[in-house]
Structure 1
Amino acid sequence: MTRVAAIDCGTNSIRLLVADLPGPDDPPGAPLGDLIRQMEIVRLGQGVDRTGRLAPEAIERTRTALVGYAERIESLGVDRVRMCATSASRDASNADDFRAMVLDTLGVAPEVVTGVEEARLSFTGAVRGLPADARPPYLVVDIGGGSTEFVVGGAEVESAVSVDIGCVRMTERHLHGDPPSADQVAAAEVDIAEAVDRALAVVPGREAATLVGLAGSVTTVVGIARELPEYDPTRIHHARVSYEAVAKVTADLLARSAAQRMEIPVMHPGRADVIGAGALVLRIIMERAGMTSVVASEHDILDGIAWSLA
């Protein structure tokens, strides 16, 4: 048995997965043996779209979360650790400060992965164990805080691309009102649609049979659409939601203030101010790709990072 720790540090959140890899005596296709899945909202990408730098307070919030993660990794006797840092730390001019902090806190340097590598890891994590009605080829979209990854494939990745649209970036760039004005939403729609069309010119997403959506924006929208009384990953994982339901949830979120969004039972406190933009990205992807439904997955880049340690 090999015990691994995967850390995904994105623009909005930092997440930890500690799991046991399947052993030689396990059946083919055996899943990871999860021990811990944990998430903290640290907003590492705060202001990066505007300043081009990671804010000192954002680096400190991330350091605080990593201290707790390092303690859990040590207590569980992990054999291998891999941390991947994504959009915010790709864009920042002071990424070396972030790297030094992580190495000092965790004892492992973060890998600032490219958008395409991020997409491939997300695909690997997402497509293992999909239900039978989720037919290939798949269009897997990972809607993060600063970027969105598009991957098309069946048993393996055929093509991938990353574009700079995400819930934090689009909120900071366009959705300044609380709630945002109609003009602000319209400007965001144009920006998102142009980026989605660029992505779909690279990957053949319109030819895919199934849209699989990853990350907190998607899972939150699905939880709202399902009218869950609380955030329940077991009821969200592999749930299928129609385009009409996504459009309805998106309109409702954009009409609410952040305080009103906080009243939604499945809402994470750190997501309430940016979920409108995340939902808008999902809705426009479905429109531009011609998808009538989306299958949510709680397994994503974090799982892909863990599998890469096999």
Structure 2
Amino acid sequence: MRSLPRRRPAAPVRDGDMLAALDLGSNSFHMVVAQRVLGQLRVVDRLRETVRMAEGLDGVGGMSPDVLQRALDCLSRFGQRIADIPPQHIRAVATNTVRQLRAPESFLLPAESALGHAIEVISGREEARLVYLGVAHAQPPREDQQRLVIDIGGGSTECIIGRGFVPLERESLQAGCIASTRRFFPNGRLSKKKWKDALTEITAEFQQFAAVYRSLGWDEAIGSSGTNKAIGEICTAMKLTKGAITAEALPQLRERLLQAERIEDIDLPGLSADRRPIIAGGVLVLEAVFTALGLQRLQVSKAALREGVLYDLLGRGGADDPREVSVHALMQRYGIDAAQAARVEATALQLFDQVAKEWKLGADDRLMLSRAARLHEIGLAIAHSSYHVHGAYILENSDIAGFSQQEQRVLAALVRCHRRNVPKTVFEPIPDRLLAGARQCAALLRLAVVLNRSQQTQDIPGLRLRAEGERLTLALDKRWLQARPLLRADLEGELTGMPGLGITLKLTVN
């Protein structure tokens, strides 16, 4: 299997740099390659292949071998295109279909090998954030107006209300063009009764948040991704509209579609053969959205998730990194002691810098440790008892903007392991490529927390940490340590606690 390139330290994107964003959707795989020119992104290449990943789901979290191979072949071709782009300027995200897999690694391991790059699995709400970011950048800037964005994918539909580049409300529902076609027309037969029953069911799902969205309101509604684009083209070909989708056009399109008794017989002007097998589910979902939200008109945008990933990539690792904004928001929401978090963070990063070369830890590992240090006490908002367990649960199960599911699991594991025993299963959900760094950063966080237990404000004199393989040697000033018998007892406790991470610790004085 192809080994993945190690990420180099994050650096600002400069003029002339190439970037690539990949969207591994439930229907199609997309890739967009762009170059930064005079501070703007200029698209230099686009690739799209119909993979229909959602068709491979077997209902119990598995994927058919033929669909898996189809996906891997596509990723291999994509990998050839981005082979010369620096890894830190590439981001590949997987969405609904991979989220539904019982064992995502069964797809991710061969997929990352085929692509030659790491693949992040993102939550539905994170997908919604990135979709909105892509659409917002493609529209004229209007800070005083709110937008509703509807993105119908193969496996899910995202609905977002935002202002400027900031999403205000994000929802993701398990209703996409492929999923809905398979769910409501499994044998390929169409009928008005089936359509009516399906429409009622899907509309009810959108009604869960329709009242909130209507109360917020919007000045314009925009549809993104292939389904909305295809429906807009059909409406234009039927001379119902001029590219947009309207409440008057949709019923006429639906009636024309239902003239066919079977999906393979659907005959709509402007409909490609590639889109025919899944258009029924797409129109069904869109009609439900119009009904639930009372939409009258939906413009169609050429931008979608892939453009959002591209623009998000510009800010990652810098001051505009959405993950930093999320960490700050979590600290405020859960009332984390910012001064203590800063002390633990400073010590953790001091230790990190002393062993990073020996352990081959990179910039992404340092950022993860920094964030875990700031959030390690988040569980105290629930209870002091087992607060590290509560904190891990919050971080793994919350929708945290900017983080992939894999990143959240690493963050949760670090917080879970920063005190007490280390469960044997805590690192099982973490991909192999992140496993060594996660264990090592967990050890560094444990030491930083112990060293700052007294919450003192002075620097720790003589603090030195040396790594030799999986062995750590911690050196402290002798007189300073002798004056702190409780700290010495805590550190000696770590001599038996560290092996749970596969790491041994030796304590010395100087």
Letter of the structure 2 residue corresponding to residue 144 of structure 1: G
Letter of the structure 1 residue corresponding to residue 23 of structure 2: D
Change (3 A) 1:269 1:95: farther
Letter of the structure 1 residue corresponding to residue 71 of structure 2: T
Q: Percent identity?
A: 26
- 8 Å CA contact 2:146–2:162 kept in 1: the answer is yes
Return the offset for 1:222: 0.2
Structure 1 counterpart of 2:154? 145
The yes-or-no answer on 1:294 pairing with 2:298 is: yes
Letter of the structure 2 residue corresponding to residue 59 of structure 1: L
TM-score normalised per structure 1: 0.86
Bigger mean CA deviation after superposition, 148-157 or 44-53:
44-53
The yes-or-no answer on 1:303 pairing with 2:313 is: no
Structure 2 counterpart of 1:97? 106
Structure 2 counterpart of 1:278? 282
User: Which of 222, 226, 246 lines up with 2:236 in the alignment?
Assistant: 226
Render the CA deviation track for 1:140-177: whole Å, top value 9, x for unaligned.
Answer: 11101111111111111111011101111111111135
Structure 2 counterpart of 1:233? none
- 8 Å CA contact 1:167–1:278 kept in 2: the answer is yes
Bigger mean CA deviation after superposition, 85-94 or 198-207:
198-207
Change (3 A) 1:178 1:255: farther
Query: Which structure: greater helix fraction?
Result: 2
Return the offset for 1:52: 2.3
User: Which of 224, 249, 256 lines up with 1:252 in the alignment?
Assistant: 256
Letter of the structure 2 residue corresponding to residue 219 of structure 1: K
Alignment of 1:63-74 (within 5 A): 63-74=72-83
- 8 Å CA contact 1:45–1:88 kept in 2: the answer is yes
- 8 Å CA contact 1:258–1:273 kept in 2: the answer is yes
User: Which of 47, 54, 64 lines up with 1:55 in the alignment?
Assistant: 64
Bigger mean CA deviation after superposition, 184-193 or 146-155:
184-193
Unmatched runs of 5 consecutive residues or more in structure 2: 1-15, 315-510
User: Which of 25, 30, 52 lines up with 1:10 in the alignment?
Assistant: 25
- 8 Å CA contact 2:152–2:176 kept in 1: the answer is yes
Structure 2 counterpart of 1:193? 203
Return the offset for 1:227: 1.1
RMSD: 2.6
Render the CA deviation track for 1:180-221: whole Å, top value 9, x for unaligned.
Answer: 122321232122111111242564577122111111111000
Structure 1 counterpart of 2:273? 269
- 8 Å CA contact 2:192–2:258 kept in 1: the answer is no
Bigger mean CA deviation after superposition, 141-150 or 51-60:
51-60
- 8 Å CA contact 1:146–1:166 kept in 2: the answer is yes
- In 2: Cα distance, 1:49 partner to 1:211 partner: 35
- 8 Å CA contact 1:9–1:83 kept in 2: the answer is yes
Give the match's secondary structure for 1:274.
helix
- In 1: Cα distance, 2:144 partner to 2:247 partner: 18
- 8 Å CA contact 1:160–1:202 kept in 2: the answer is no
Give the match's secondary structure for 2:26.
coil
Return the offset for 1:139: 1.1
Render the CA deviation track for 1:17-53: whole Å, top value 9, x for unaligned.
Answer: 11113x4x34xxx4x3111222111111125372322
- In 1: Cα distance, 2:257 partner to 2:53 partner: 23
Change (3 A) 1:61 1:291: same
Letter of the structure 2 residue corresponding to residue 114 of structure 1: S
- In 2: Cα distance, 1:8 partner to 1:84 partner: 5
Change (3 A) 1:160 1:205: farther
The yes-or-no answer on 1:174 pairing with 2:184 is: yes
- 8 Å CA contact 1:176–1:184 kept in 2: the answer is no
Give the match's secondary structure for 2:299.
strand
- In 1: Cα distance, 2:26 partner to 2:149 partner: 19
- 8 Å CA contact 2:148–2:221 kept in 1: the answer is yes
Letter of the structure 2 residue corresponding to residue 17 of structure 1: V
- In 1: Cα distance, 2:105 partner to 2:141 partner: 45
- In 1: Cα distance, 2:308 partner to 2:191 partner: 38
Change (3 A) 1:73 1:269: farther
